[in-house]
Structure 1
Amino acid sequence: MASGRLIKLLVFELLEFAAFCVPTLVIMEQFADTYQSTRGTPDKTHYWLIVSCSIAYVALVTLLIWVPVKVLLYRKRHLYQKIIGWRPVLTMCVFLTTLPSFSFSIAVTEVQKNINGSADTLPDMLPDLPVSLVLTCLIVVDIIEKLRIYPLRGRQKSNEDRHIHTTNLQQVKTVTDEVRRNEETPTPPQPAKRTQLSRPPGATTGSFAPELEGPQEPTFEWGILRTLSQRDVRAEVFLRTFLLWADTIEMVRVAGHPNVYKSGWVYPVYIFSFISLLRMTLTPRNPLLNSLSILLQDLPFIFVRLSLIIALGTITPVLGLCKNILVTLSYVYFNYLAKFRIFSAFERSF
């Protein structure tokens, strides 16, 4: 009987392979159907030619790129360990699946424009299935790559729970050492202060970090509240992954608006949406991920969304524009401006 590890491996590989192949085949079939309908002839030679080319493309990249890379990743573990900071599987999906899918999504509207001679003959709304299928497949691959390091059975605590447990142990040890030190060298009692400067472990004598106070987090040890407070890092992977992709999903959906895909605005929307996907090729804990998210997503989206609002009205949510502006400004301020002397003084809200 197959082990759980083997079943997990087979399921993950089948899902990733389906996510790699299906979007290209579906969008190419849509392009073939659109091209055939614009010709107005019962002969489907062009339709089957385009479909055959899509199948040949998928088979070619599978045999020459996908399968060899997968074999190397599992048979040559020392090569896999030398890959630092980026994810090969998601990189293949972005460049070999998403890029041609976006290209042929634009080609569908361009074919209709060229055949009919006007953008007024285009449908009122583009079908949502192709775009949603492409992004859903990318999200599935992203989730699978993050879940590989976790078992699918048993209980798995989140990293925050481990951090809290470790921090509590360190605090208990610190308090115990302080009590022993006070017993050995008694000192007169000092008035308690609400905020005090504490030195983190390993810091130099002159570097002090302010210890912030805030609302205490509740803990539930019994009853229905204990059941509702359960947390598992594997479930949080799904939540955080969809939140990470939300901005790109919203931007791509804007391309389905008639005022966008019937005009030249469809090109910058798709181009910058694809550029924002490049950050997903990095590992989730890559130190460059935050800065590249600003450079590849939030900063370009500010100009795209602002231009769309000025030219076409609020076809893209103003909330998305505010999110991009606030994320960009906060990143620049807290990472770079806060280091200058004028911004370096520590302040508390209360």
Structure 2
Amino acid sequence: MVSGRLIKLVVFELLEFAAFSVPTLVIMEQFATAYHSKRNASEKTHYWLIVSCSIAYVASVTLLIWVPVKVLLHKKHHLHKKIKGWRPVMMMCVVLTTLPSFSFSIAVAEVQKNINGTDDNSPDPLPDLSVSLVLTCLIVVDIIEKIRVYPLRGSQKSSEDSRIHETTLRQITTVTEQVRRSEENPSASQAARRPELSRSGEATTQIQALAPGTPEEPSFHSGVLKAMSRRDVRAEIFLWSFLLWSDTIEMVRVAGHPSVYNSGWVYPVYIFSFISLLRLILTPRNPLLNSLGMLLQDLPFIFVRLSLIIVLGTITPVLGLCKNILVMLSYVYFNYLIKLRVFSTFEIS
């Protein structure tokens, strides 16, 4: 009987390979169709030539890069310990799939632009299918790489619940050790009580300093409210993986607007959107992820969105610009400015 672990591995690998290969094939087919329409030729020689080149590209990249890297990662388990801070699978998807897809999306737009002219009545040169397909496949691979370490069956508590459980166990263990020591040697327990109390006091102060004045959250132990309050880290991976890239998705969608396309703003929009996707290469808990998020996404998007609003109007939501500005300012203030003497005074509400 086939084990569940083998089925899980096969399904994940097939999904990742489909997400790796399908976007390039679809967008290259769109480019072939647009190029064939431009020539207005009855024969489809150039169409099938472009399609065959896309198939050859996907096949060669798969056999020369994708399969060897996958085999090494599954056979050589010691490589996982040496690879720290970045993910080889996401790097292959970003460089070998997303970059060619974005490039040929711009090529499709330029070909259709030459066919339809530059009037505002021309159809949308950047269809939503290509943009949604590329980003969805990239997010799917990201979700698979994150959820691979979790079992797909059985209950799994969220990370916050596990931290609370570990903190409670540590406190119970400390109290148990203190009681045991006091029963065995009362004189020694009095001498050791002050250091232990000081350490426990410091730990309590640190826990309270993390969230001062935070209201106590309710807890439900029965009924419908208990079922509604369930949290699972595996479900949260799907939620936050899509929410994390909503800003980039909205920015790429702006490139399909006729005003952006006809004015040539499609190039900086696509370039900075691809640069923001480079964060996928890092592991989810990499300490550099937050700072690179500011430098690769929020800071460039501020200038791109502000320029689009000034030149072309509110074709991009002002809410996105406010989000980028507020996230950038809060990151700089709470990480760097509060270390200055003017902002270094600790306040207790």
TM-score under structure 1 length normalisation? 0.89
- The alignment status of 1:301 with 2:301, answered yes or no, reads yes
- CA positional deviation for 1:117: 5.5
Which 10-residue stretch deviates more, 119-128 or 100-109? 119-128
- CA positional deviation for 1:166: 2.0
- The alignment status of 1:218 with 2:218, answered yes or no, reads yes
> Is this contact kept in 2: 1:31–1:108, CA < 8 A?
yes
Partner residue, 1:191: none
> Is this contact kept in 2: 1:23–1:97, CA < 8 A?
yes
- The alignment status of 1:74 with 2:74, answered yes or no, reads yes
- Percent identical pairs in the alignment equals 74
> Is this contact kept in 1: 2:90–2:142, CA < 8 A?
yes
Higher helix share: 2
Which amino acid letter does the alignment assign opposite residue 286 of structure 1?
A: N
- The alignment status of 1:199 with 2:202, answered yes or no, reads yes
2:85, 2:297 → 1: CA distance? 19
- CA positional deviation for 1:245: 1.0
Partner residue, 1:93: 93
Which amino acid letter does the alignment assign opposite residue 261 of structure 1?
A: Y
Which amino acid letter does the alignment assign opposite residue 156 of structure 1?
A: Q
CA-to-aligned-CA distance 1:172-196 (integer Å, 9 cap, x gap):
5667889989x969xxxxxxxxxxx
2:94, 2:122 → 1: CA distance? 28
Q: Provide the secondary structure at the position in 2 that maps to 1:285.
A: coil
Which 10-residue stretch deviates more, 276-285 or 161-170? 161-170
1:45, 1:210 → 2: CA distance? 66
2:29, 2:292 → 1: CA distance? 34
Compared CA separation, residues 210 and 103, structure 1 to 2 (3 A): closer
**RMSD of aligned alpha carbons:** 2.5
Which amino acid letter does the alignment assign opposite residue 93 of structure 2?
A: C
> Is this contact kept in 1: 2:36–2:44, CA < 8 A?
yes
Compared CA separation, residues 209 and 123, structure 1 to 2 (3 A): closer
Compared CA separation, residues 124 and 98, structure 1 to 2 (3 A): closer
Compared CA separation, residues 126 and 318, structure 1 to 2 (3 A): same
Which 10-residue stretch deviates more, 7-16 or 36-45? 36-45
Please list every run of 5 or more consecutive structure 1 residues that lacks an aligned counterpart in the other structure: 186-196
Partner residue, 2:320: 320
Please list every run of 5 or more consecutive structure 2 residues that lacks an aligned counterpart in the other structure: 192-199
Partner residue, 1:167: 167
- CA positional deviation for 1:114: 3.6
Partner residue, 2:284: 284
- Listed as ranges, the matches of 1:236-315 within 5 Å are 236-315=236-315
> Is this contact kept in 2: 1:198–1:209, CA < 8 A?
no
Partner residue, 1:145: 145
TM-score under structure 2 length normalisation? 0.89
Partner residue, 1:112: 112
- CA positional deviation for 1:169: 3.4
